[in-house]
Structure 1
Amino acid sequence: MNSSIDFQISFIEPQAHYVEMEMYIQGFANTFLDIKMPVWTPGSYLVREFSKNIEQVSAVKDNAEDLKIYKVSKNTWRIDNPSDSVMIKYRIYSFEKSVRTNFVDAEHAFLSPAGTFFYVAGHLNHDATVRVNLPSYWSKISTGLPKVDNEENTFYAENFDILFDSPLEIGNQDIWSFEAAGIPHEFAMVGVGSYDKDMLSYDIKKIVEEETKLWGSNPNDRYVFITHNYQSAHGGLEHLNSTVLASGRNAYSNAIGYTNFLSLVAHEYFHLWHVKRLRPKTLGPFNYEEENYTHLLWIFEGFTAYYDNLITRRCGFRDEVDYLQALVSEFNMVLNKPGHLVQSVGLSSFDTWIKQYRPDENSQNSSISYYNKGAMLACMLDISILAQTNGEKRLDQVLQAAYKQFYLIDGRGIEEAEFRKLAEEVTGTSLGEIFDAAHTCEELDYNAYFNLVGYQFIDQNKANIVPSLGIKVSHHDGRTVIKNIDRHSSAWEFGLNVDDEIVAVNGTRIDPQGRELDLAISSSAIGTTLNIMIAREGLIREIPVTLKVSDRVSYYIERNPEATAEQRVLGDIWLSLAPTNQ
């Protein structure tokens, strides 16, 4: 008997957030059969323990006789002495709103496949079919999986890597299609929103074609955008030939929100090449049962974070000022976190499994984001290559060459050393200082790099001597509570704690908005001691705190009035601007 794996998806109680699963297995008879569920989903580097949502697992033989099925690990179920044909039933509780987790209610179902489908241990390369039993109140299915001919609502996955990379949206979503780069694209809008379908199609087509031009070719036969509209949201997760986006429902009707949504689209679509195909060596084939470590997320997520806004600039959605503001925000986010002096961006990539998705009150002091810092280093590489080649080459050519060599020709993942070597060979430049910076906590001379293309990088706070406690607070129910304390700040050194309620300062009770605290700080000289009364675990105490100088930075990027004509030309190339009049 040939082996086969087939799934059926049903919805009996969607209002209670459940999806019913049936898995039909044939041709795997052995002394025992292990069925597993992934513990994480590619693209989101956190062990999420999807099996925690699984209930009522049962198994029967082909003759309907019950089989004993029992757990042998957190994500593994075992059947002893299975027959050639086995049906496994299970239910999944699905009520977590995100782009990476299952959500089912009376309105629709979003199924993140890593948290939905079991696989047979040792058989990730096996193909599978998925049939959706649509309830009468839903009529549409959106997924990147191809349909099975002559079978209603049935889809095919060549292997489980593809299946786990193909989310399903099921309901009554608003679906339309457009062609871009010669490829059909489907858009599925879930929930109400202020979007204009024609405008979205027109603008996203620009993004698709700009990115396809950058990479040299488009790997898709078809692509699907699934967008969930919420009261307030922004995020996405890339897949092999689809993406899932989250947006505020009114983001499309204001200029800033709409441009940010287009940047999100540009980010996730860029991943088609950068992560899904050109990838770190350790990210594929995947081990779905534990962490898959790499130091290279600063390249793969960070570079993508650099290009998402740059692509919207090239498409004309951002002017020069808007783009530079978006770019400099990456620098300010990193340089205002004391963690940038503690954690390198390479280590941030490696530690994503324990830090990036599990922030706490001390995260700003101990870590940085490989998105932001990676974007900073990508910008430096782009500028350095432009300057060293007199505008003939830039980071675009490095990515295109890497995609061709490591994916199209070699069909494998990359190591950092060979990516760096290729970058220097393709461009004929020396890039060691920037690549080395990924593994230290020393910051580059960013202004010197921006000067190369006629811009300057200036901290407008540099001349300001401003007192600071070094805390962030929240105001709720008339209470002012400390939420974060910066490393080596006044609050840090003199013993204020996160979750302390600030009751009074210098004998004056704090008002509900904390204005007396702000006034006491701003009107005091550096070195002044404030007597801060706090409530900690219900006990009142007074802590003297001596004010230090604020170390907050506020950088901006602008044209350098002292730039040479050659530098101004390079700047125009960098930002795809019309040539500067010389």
Structure 2
Amino acid sequence: MKKLLLTAAAMLSAATLFAQNDIYYSFSFPHPEHHEAEVGLRIGGLESGPLRVRMSRSSAGRYATHEFGKNIYNVKAFSEAGTPITVKQIEGDVYEIANHGASVKITYTLFANWTDGTYASIDASHAHLNMPAAVLWAEGMDERPVHFLFKDLDKNGWHVSTQLKAEGNDAFYAPNFQYMMDSPAELSASKESSWEVSNPDGKKQGIHLSIHSDDGQPVIDNFAKMVQKMVLEEQAVFGELPAYDFGNYTFLDDVYPANDGDGMEHRNSTCIVHMLDKVEGNELKMMSTFSHEYFHSWNVKRIRPKSLEPFNFEHANMSNELWFAEGFTQYYGGLVLVRAGFHTSEEYGQTLAGLLNAVLNQPGAAKYPAVQMSRYSVFADAGVSIDPNNNNNIFTSYYYYGGAIALALDLRLRADYHLTLDDYMRNVWLTMGKVMKPYTIPDLQKVLATTTKDPKFAADFFNKYVYGIEKNDYTALLAKAGMVVRKAKPGKGWIGNIGSAVSRSRSGQVYTVETDGVTILNSTALNSPLYKAGIDAGDLITSVDGSSITSFVKLAFLAGAKKPGDKISVTFKNRTGTHNTTIEVVENPELEVVPIETIGQQLTAEQADFRKAWLTSKVK
């Protein structure tokens, strides 16, 4: 009996020590209308020596640097007895407590007023918390369990939606630092709809849709049925759902016109933000983000690039593999919506055209490979710099670059090997994702070689289209499915990509109208007529063929009215004075992809079978 009592005492002592080593956060919202929260952080089990706590400079799913530290203030520290302790700010986002006891309580005020997938926002309607933007964290304590207590929920009429594990009484749990930082929380009067999905082994998992919007419950329930169809199509690609931690996956969506649209993947959830007035009437528009982000629960969160494992929250995270992690996800995001019946093959042609225009008409893709474009994410992925860049000429989004590579690989596997990209993705999942083995690009090539039983093809494909800048013959590949690649505006004049979606500035504009002309804000595209004429960002176009220019619409109209080979006279100003030049108009290079039968040609039986195998539902 004595021995048993000693054992019990030892167990109690161990349990007490474990609890002391846990980290505890509390969030209260006394005045949410002013976009502030009061945050408390308790850290126990401390040894002697300085304690450093800091804010993050990056966020899971974002690859550039962010300055979250600017939005916390009133940082104070106290002993367990409540005695104030000196806190020294040693960097903009790093604080040090040199002298402390076995435990420390830290408090601070969080300001949050930007609703997207990266930052945090607080107002009278909700607290939208992305953890890297919201929590001070202690260095060197990555394996400690973390607990959250959210206060003032009843007062504000909120409940909590999150992938954090519920502990009861408004308390939640994360097993470690990385899980905490990957767990957004939406505190609001959101409406929810839930269902279960079974894997082939019979195991069921809960899928939850939580939407903060001005819609009624029937609208949310109806939208949930659409999301269910998408979930099943993506399950069919891989053959199974991932084993979600705690058996649940949660879609978080905030819908409001003043939001900044975004989607951010997490291990067992996704944080989606829509710039819409409500869900009703916008369901199809919203599905593209849901489709893309849910695919990430396999590709990125479990099929994990070694370069992002573990994710470093102190600086930007560079990866060679985003053409696959984001780009292949981009491809499937559109494909599964066709398979689920939400888009027609004609509508899907518009999606495919976006991929083709990115890789065939943008200067960046002509000069740089997909691997290099992936590395540029540390500058391109919503970073904090405000000075102009030359992205029009040196960058092509790894989303579209990788999406075009995925399209070509899918069509080539179907045509040449009687395989599909689904087969390849399933093998990548089983080889690396399901067992959480971080991958490198050679690993992806090896799986392609194994899938096709053709190492020569795999090496050739990666060398040309991933490491190299060669482009697949999309016209020939899409023709096998009865899809025609052609000029979108044949015979129409074009002088450059001012005003196009691929050349937006941070403000969303590419020109500004002044009383005496139109100012170009971004770099003009390499080898475009404007570029060859020496016109670039900052220049003011005042007239075309003697007609004054007072709007971008007029500038685009005058150029589009010309035929390729026509010449127009342009007057423009810059800091060296007023200049007159002649520009030779070229044909608009924009491409479109259309089903062959929509342009009066015959869809063959072979093409119809190919398209059906590619675009129809895979749910059994």
Normalising by structure 1, what TM-score? 0.90
Query: Is 1:544–2:544 an aligned residue pair?
Result: no
Residue 228 of structure 2 aligns with which residue? Answer: 205
Q: Is the 8 A contact 1:490 1:545 kept in 2?
A: no
Query: What CA deviation, in whole Å up to 9, does each residue of 1:93-141 have, x standing for no partner?
Result: 1112212101011221101011122222111111110001125123311
Q: Which deviates more from structure 2 when the two are superposed, residues 203-212 or residues 452-461?
A: 452-461
**Cα distance change, pair 459–515 in 1 and its aligned pair in 2 (3 A):** closer
Segments of structure 2 that go 5 or more residues without pairing to the other structure are: 1-16, 199-203, 500-509
What is the CA–CA distance in structure 2 between the aligned matches of 1:291 and 1:229, rounded to whole Å?
29
Q: Which of the residues 251, 261, 264 maps onto 1:237? A: 264
1-side partners of 2:555 and 2:26: how far apart? 62
More moved, 554-563 vs 379-388:
554-563
**Structure 1 residues 62 and 171, CA gap change in structure 2 (3 angstroms):** same
Tell me which moved more, 540-549 or 419-428: 540-549
Distance of aligned partners of 1:49 and 1:513 in 2 relative to their CA distance in 1, 3 Å threshold? closer
Structure (1 or 2) with the greater helix fraction = 2
Distance in 2 of aligned mates of 1:490 and 1:298: 30
Q: SS of 2:307's equivalent? A: coil
Aligned equivalent of 1:323: 348
Give, in angstroms, the shift of residue 169 of structure 1.
Answer: 0.8
Q: Check conservation: 1:467, 1:547, Cα contact below 8 A.
A: no
- The 1:467–1:241 alpha-carbon spacing in structure 2 relative to 1, beyond 3 Å, is closer
The code of the aligned residue for 2:367 comes to: V
Aligned identity (percent) is: 25
Aligned to 1:367: 395
Q: Any conservation in 2 of the 1:340–1:368 contact (CA below 8 Å)?
A: yes
Q: Which residue of 2 aligns with 1:132?
A: 150
Offset of residue 215 of structure 1: 1.6
Distance 2:427 2:552 in 1: 55
Q: How far apart, CA to CA, are the structure 1 residues paired with 2:605 and 2:558?
A: 48
* Residues 317 and 163 (structure 1), Cα distance of their counterparts in 2 relative to 1, 3 Å cut: same
Letter in 2 for 1:342: K
**Is 2:202 the partner of 1:162?**
no
Out of 590, 598, 613, the residue aligned to residue 553 of structure 1 is 590
Among candidates 430, 445, 448, match of residue 404 of structure 1: 430
Which one is further off, 76-85 or 152-161?
76-85
Residue 571 of structure 1 is matched in structure 2 by 611
Matched, 1:414 2:455: no
CA contact (8 A) 1:280 1:414 kept: yes
Partner Cα distance (1:4, 1:532) in 2: 68
Q: Which residue of 2 aligns with 1:186?
A: 208
Give the match for residue 543 of structure 2: 504
Partner of 2:408: 380
Q: Does 1:141 align with 2:160?
A: yes
Contact (CA 8 Å) 1:175, 1:189: kept in 2 or not?
A: yes
One-letter identity of the residue aligned with 1:4: D
Alignment of 1:173-572 (within 5 A): 173-181=190-198, 182-193=204-215, 196-218=219-241, 219-220=243-244, 221-231=247-257, 234-250=261-277, 252-254=279-281, 257-358=282-383, 360=388, 362-390=390-418, 393-409=419-435, 411-429=436-454, 430-436=457-463, 437-461=465-489, 464=491, 466=493, 468=495, 471-472=498-499, 474=511, 476=513, 479-484=517-522, 485-512=524-551, 515=554, 518-519=557-558, 522-523=561-562, 526=565, 528=567, 530-534=569-573, 536=574, 541-550=578-587, 552-559=589-596, 566=606, 568-572=608-612
Which residue is 2:505 aligned to?
none
* Alpha-carbon separation, structure 1, partners of 2:577 and 2:560: 21
1:21 corresponds to which of 32, 39, 44: 39
Measured in 2, the distance between the counterparts of 1:266 and 1:567 equals: 27
Measured in 2, the distance between the counterparts of 1:466 and 1:64 equals: 73
- Per the alignment, residue 8 of structure 2 pairs with none
Deviation by residue 1:67-110 (Cα, 9 ceiling, x = unmatched)? 11112233321111210011011111111221210101122110
Residues 512 and 520 in structure 2, CA contact (< 8 A), matched pair in contact too:
no
Moved more, 471-480 or 396-405: 471-480
Query: How far does the alpha carbon of each residue in 1:515-573 deviate from its partner, in whole angstroms, 9 at most, with x for none?
Result: 37733773477363514143x46x86133133242452323243496887555433321
The separation in 2 between residues aligned to 1:46 and 1:205, in whole angstroms, is 33
Shift of 1:375: 0.7
Secondary structure of 1:282's aligned partner: helix
What SS does the aligned partner of 1:147 have? strand
Q: CA RMSD in A?
A: 2.6
Q: Match of 1:327, as an amino acid? A: L
Q: Distance in 1 between matches of 2:137 and 2:556?
A: 57
Contact 1:480 1:514 in 2 (8 A): no
Tell me by how many angstroms 1:176 deviates.
3.1
Q: Is the 8 A contact 2:115 2:273 kept in 1?
A: no
Give 2:579's aligned amino acid: E
- Secondary structure at the residue paired with 1:83? coil
Answer yes or no: is the 8 Å Cα contact 1:467–1:526 preserved in 2: no
**What is the alpha-carbon distance in structure 1 between the residues aligned to residue 51 and residue 275 of structure 2?**
45
User: Residues of 1 paired with 2:496 and 2:353: CA distance?
Assistant: 25
Distance apart, 1:243 and its partner CA: 0.9
Separation in 1 of the partners of 2:559 and 2:480? 44
Distance in 2 between residues matched to 1:57 and 1:191, nearest whole Å: 34
8 Å CA contact retained: 2:544, 2:568: no
The answer to whether structure 1 residue 101 and structure 2 residue 119 are counterparts is yes
| Structure 1 gap ranges (5+) | none
> Structure 1 residues 174-183 or 52-61, which shifts more?
174-183
Which range moved further: 521-530 or 268-277?
Answer: 521-530
TM-score (norm 2): 0.85
Deviation at 1:460, TM superposition (A): 4.7
Q: Distance in 1 between matches of 2:540 and 2:67?
A: 35
Distance 1:469 1:95, change over 3 A: closer
CA deviation profile, 1:363-397 (whole Å, cap 9, x unmatched)? 1211000101111110111111112223xx21112
Deviation at 1:415, TM superposition (A): 0.8
**Matches of 1:263 and 1:471 in 2, distance apart?**
26
Cα distance change, pair 520–24 in 1 and its aligned pair in 2 (3 A):
closer
C-alpha displacement at 1:33, in angstroms? 1.1
